[in-house]
């Protein structure tokens, strides 16, 4: 699913020490779903289930050192803490979205949602939007053989549209906070 190209996505705007924006329910649902998927990647790191040679994991958790021994030691000592911090920030964005979404059958279901974040929430959103963009960007740039069978050129184009939309959301949030 991609954001409705026929409607202008609203920019974030400053509100006190935080920011507010309007988002369509389907946009919020899509972003919450993507956030939950990235949360799963970070939880796999904490649980020791992550596939560290996956191109996405290599971008999310790059080697901190060139030497294999130093890199392995850094991963052993720091990766779980880094993942826990990323889980906290991504969970904040997902919770904000899930809280804003109307219940199924709610008459507000088609109305734009108003999302408001304080300064701490805005920081979590900026970081989380960047991570979701990174994951999608890496996936859409992978060789076809590395993708799930059945992924079409149209699927890739839609995901690239989502990456652009996420970039807009991240950029306007950052500008609103300046």
Query: Cβ–Cβ contacts within 10 Å for residue 142, how many?
Result: 15
How big is the CA angle at 170 (ends 166 and 125), to the nearest 5 degrees?
A: 100
CA 29 to chain centre: 12
Average pLDDT over residues 72-76: 87
What is the predicted pLDDT for the residue at 142?
A: 64
107-140 pLDDT, tens digit each? 655 678 999 999 999 999 999 999 999 999 998 8
| Distance separating alpha carbons of residues 177 and 166, to the nearest angstrom | 17
19-37: burial string, b at 16+ Cβ within 10 Å, e else: bebbbbbebbbbbbebbee
99-114 pLDDT, tens digit each? 999 887 666 556 789 9
| Distance separating alpha carbons of residues 22 and 12, to the nearest angstrom | 8
| Distance separating alpha carbons of residues 72 and 113, to the nearest angstrom | 44
**Against a cut of 0.85, is the pTM above it?**
yes
Complete DSSP assignment for 47-64:
HT---TTSHHHHHHS--S
165-176 pLDDT, tens digit each? 999 999 999 999
What is the predicted pLDDT for the residue at 9?
A: 55
22-58 pLDDT, tens digit each? 999 999 999 999 999 999 999 999 999 998 889 999 9
| Distance separating alpha carbons of residues 134 and 141, to the nearest angstrom | 11
Torsion of CA 178, 24, 97, 137, to 10 degrees: -70
What is the predicted pLDDT for the residue at 109?
A: 57
| Distance separating alpha carbons of residues 10 and 20, to the nearest angstrom | 10
């Amino acid at each position: 699913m991609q954001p409705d190209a026929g409607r202008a996505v609203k920019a974030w705007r400053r509100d006190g020490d935080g920011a507010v924006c309007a988002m369509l329910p389907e946009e919020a649902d899509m972003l919450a779903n993507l956030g939950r998927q990235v949360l799963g990647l970070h939880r796999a790191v904490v649980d020791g289930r992550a596939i560290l040679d996956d191109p996405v994991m290599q971008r999310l958790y790059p080697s901190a050192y060139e030497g294999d021994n130093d890199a392995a030691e850094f991963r052993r000592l720091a990766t779980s803490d880094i993942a826990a911090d990323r889980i906290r920030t991504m969970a904040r964005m997902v919770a904000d979205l899930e809280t804003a979404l109307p219940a199924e059958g709610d008459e507000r279901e088609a109305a734009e949602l108003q999302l408001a974040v304080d300064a701490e929430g805005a920081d979590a959103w900026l970081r989380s939007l960047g991570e979701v963009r990174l994951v999608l960007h890496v996936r859409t740039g992978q060789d076809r053989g590395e993708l799930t069978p059945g992924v079409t050129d149209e699927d890739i184009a839609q995901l690239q549209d989502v990456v652009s939309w996420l970039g807009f959301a991240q950029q306007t949030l950052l500008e609103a906070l300046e």
